[in-house]
Amino acid sequence: MPPVRVRLWQSEWDDGQPELNQQRALAAIRSSAGQADLLVLPETCLQGFATPADIATLAIPVASPCVAAMRQAAREAQVSVVFGFAEAEDGRYFNSAVLVDERGDILLKYRKTHLYKSDHGVFEAGTSYPVCAWHGLRVGLLICLDIEFPEPARALAMQGAELIVVADGNMDFSAPLHRQVIPVRALESQVHVVMANRVGRGRDYTFGGQSLAADPFGRCIGEASAHQAQQLDVLVDRQATTMARAELDYLQIARTTAPGVARVIDAH
């Protein structure tokens, strides 16, 4: 099978400006028609980062005109897309991301489980790590801080994920950390990990770019600039996880429970 074409869309987004951000996101989808199988946009890209003061105004349900427009654009461009947004559900708010396929169907929704300090008082934490089938691969989603911990990526891998997509919103002072840990997450679970980050100045932070992709051998297969908007195109080999595990399958020998060690992996 041919490799999957993944486009990591690193650009500037405006906090608290949903109309402007949606137009940028729709333009990114349209421009990727025929160029990518999967387009990845950053964390909360549709609204930017919310605060306790504006979350009720900015957050949207999955069944909203904004998400519907993203789904229609994906269908028209025949491109699958992952994008982050501030989700509202029954008076509760989540830092969420969805995978929409080229038919405009939502295959996967994930809610950020590891909240950064600026998320507290704005969002509730998610509680699960779902995966889905997409283009011959099992796919899972993570958001920003999640990737700094081994457990979320391992939970996805234990459910069969071969590709982990990270919608990132990482600041300039910690972007180098994600550059370090993403190849490690890929290696230790023998999966592809791809990440799209913001760049430029936001309301409270400057974002550090360095969107990145790593293969199941822990090798960096693409990296974007730390300071400039950039569309990074990488190829994901659908057989790479099988090849990486053929010699030594880490998931088969990893001791997720051991004497004196609490179980830390709970995928459900």
Positions annotated as catalytic residues are 43, 112, 144
| Alpha carbons within 13 A on the beta-carbon side of 202 | 28
Where b means 16+ CB within 10 Å and e means fewer, 92-119 reads ebbbbbbbbbbebebbbbbbbbbbbeeb
Alpha-carbon dihedral angle through residues 165, 168, 174, 176, given to the nearest 10 degrees: 40
Give the tokens for residue 31: 């421009």
Give the span between the Cα atoms of 174 and 188, in whole angstroms.
Answer: 21
Percent helix, strand, coil in the chain, to 5, is 25, 30, 45
Give the tokens for residue 140: 């899972």
